Amino acid sequence: MTTDTPWPWSPARTCARWPGRPWPPRAGTNSAQEIVIPTGIALGIAAATPRGLVVPNIKDAHTLGLLDLAVAINDLATTARAGKTAPEAMTGGTTTITNVGVFGVDTGTPILNSGETAILAVGAIHRQQWIVADGSGERIEPRSILQLALSFDHRVIDGQQGSELLAGTAALLSEPGLAVL
């Protein structure tokens, strides 16, 4: 495990490799009426292109450190927007991240791609007044807030695991230093 900070790709890092361990249980595909758990994580990154949305994926994303993951995401998006994504780059995905916030959307209900276990939607960032509690009481502070939405296959991931992914992602976004612990 590398020790690097999560921003700006902490949702990707959390999906690809929860700090200290791969995110449970990676993925499952329905093959001949059985769930097949692959050995790695192929992280899909939804990319808007002039031809529509495509979801190429980063094979073995769980093995990448933050910098390598950020480079891989940038390369995927650049290739997709140029219309040069190879068909094999869009198959075998296990988990997808979609950034609906880039369109000004706060959240939505992301729909799983066939064969994938989870999809995380990241909403727009807004400045809002936020109640902050400390040892002396509560106060109101301006904060940058975004909403996360997760859809997942309950045959593979239960509600506790899904909630832990959301909580872990939120924690990394709130306190980037947690990624180095």
What distance in Å separates the CA atoms of residue 155 and residue 54, rounded to the nearest whole number?
25
**Catalytically active residues, by annotation:** 154
Mean pLDDT taken over the chain: 81
- pTM of the shown model: 0.78
- Residue 2: its pLDDT value, please? 28
For 10-180, CATH number out of 3.30.559.10, 3.10.129.10, 3.50.50.60, 3.30.465.10 equals 3.30.559.10
Q: Cα angle vertex 122, ends 155, 119, to 5°?
A: 20
Convert the pLDDT of each residue in 84-130 to its tens digit: 999 999 998 989 999 999 889 998 899 988 888 899 999 999 999 99
Convert the pLDDT of each residue in 37-62 to its tens digit: 777 889 999 998 888 899 999 999 98
Q: What is the pLDDT averaged over residues 71-84?
A: 93
